[in-house]
């Protein structure tokens, strides 16, 4: 009989990153830490192992409408770990399916509350808000949500083309505004220069001397300054 019982016994190893749920005749007896345990099948015993490591759940291609009826296709990444193996096993049939559905529902609720421009401008805040919402819901079935990241947020169809055209127009408009500001600055500088020349008769002569001095220092040339009356006389003979 003892030999028969030994044949019906099974050794189960619970690893460091796992927890074991020991059942006897269908009832949970205790939660097992890492170690080796003998299970007696003829007594109705069994051990269910639960992985406690952090893992990732990808949710691709979820299409959601914003408050202004713009379709956005979201690719989400959820990093999670099992915090309570009993709840994760007993509260839902599959905690992965529950986490997947919870993420989809919460993402839909948060996107619907925003316009397209608000969503695109607040992607970081959206990720943080979505993480908080899913984390609270997942506690019910024993899962701890570490973070939720938006891998991609894509516009679909004609809306994508229209939005890209809008971005191009905005960039061109900003470039035109910068160019206009530059032209205004140049015009103001010229107007100030004209005012200074009008108010200071010797300003042009001084500027001419400065330019000639720099040219002579750079190229090693010698410049001869003639009186103004000689310049005027030379101009008359040249005209003739």
Which H helix or E strand runs over 146?
strand 143-155
Rounded CA separation 131/149 (Å): 8
Which H helix or E strand runs over 128?
helix 123-138
CA angle 59, 61, 67 (to 5 degrees): 105
Tokens standing for 223?
Answer: 């410049």
Long-range contacts of 208-213 (CB under 8 A, 24+ apart): none
Half-sphere exposure of 149 (CA within 13 A, CB side): 8
83: closest CA among 47, 57, 50? 50
CA angle 124, 127, 130 (to 5 degrees): 150
Tokens standing for 75?
Answer: 């690719």
110: closest CA among 95, 96, 125? 125
Q: Are 129 and 110 in contact (CB under 8 A)?
A: yes
Q: What is the pLDDT of residue 146?
A: 94
Q: What is the pLDDT of residue 2?
A: 47
User: What are the strands, taking DSSP E only, across 54-95?
Assistant: 55-65, 71-82
Cα 111 to the center of its chain, rounded Å: 16
Q: What is the pLDDT of residue 101?
A: 94
42: closest CA among 78, 83, 76, 4? 4
One digit per residue, the tens of pLDDT, for the chain of length 240 reads 444 455 467 889 999 999 999 999 889 999 999 999 988 877 788 899 999 999 999 998 778 888 888 888 889 999 999 999 999 999 999 999 999 999 999 999 999 998 888 888 888 888 899 999 999 999 999 999 999 988 887 776 655 545 545 555 555 666 667 666 777 776 676 677 667 666 666 666 666 666 666 666 665 666 565 555 455 555 555 555
pTM: predicted TM-score of the whole model, two decimal places: 0.62
């Amino acid at each position: 009989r003892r030999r028969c019982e030994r044949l019906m016994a099974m050794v189960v190893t619970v690893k460091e990153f796992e927890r074991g749920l020991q059942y006897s005749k269908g009832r949970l007896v205790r939660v097992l830490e890492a170690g080796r345990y003998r299970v007696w099948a003829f007594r109705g015993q069994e051990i269910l192992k639960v992985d406690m490591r952090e893992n990732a759940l990808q949710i691709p291609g979820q299409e959601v409408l914003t408050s202004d009826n713009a379709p956005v296709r979201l690719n989400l990444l959820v990093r999670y770990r099992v915090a309570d193996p009993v709840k994760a096993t007993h509260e839902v049939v599959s905690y992965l399916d529950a986490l997947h559905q919870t993420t989809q529902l919460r993402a839909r609720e948060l996107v619907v509350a925003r316009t397209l421009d608000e969503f695109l401008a607040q992607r970081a805040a959206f990720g943080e808000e979505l993480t908080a919402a899913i984390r609270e819901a997942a506690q019910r079935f024993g899962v701890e949500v570490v973070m939720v990241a938006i891998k991609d947020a894509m516009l679909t169809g004609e809306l994508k083309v229209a939005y890209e055209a809008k971005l191009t127009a905005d960039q061109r408009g900003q470039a035109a505004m910068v160019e206009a500001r530059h032209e205004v600055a140049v015009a103001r500088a010229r107007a100030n220069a004209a005012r200074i020349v009008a108010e200071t008769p010797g300003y042009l002569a001084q500027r001419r001397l400065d330019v000639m001095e720099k040219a002579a220092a750079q190229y090693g040339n010698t410049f001869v300054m003639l009186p103004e009356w000689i310049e005027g006389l030379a101009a008359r003979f040249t005209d003739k």
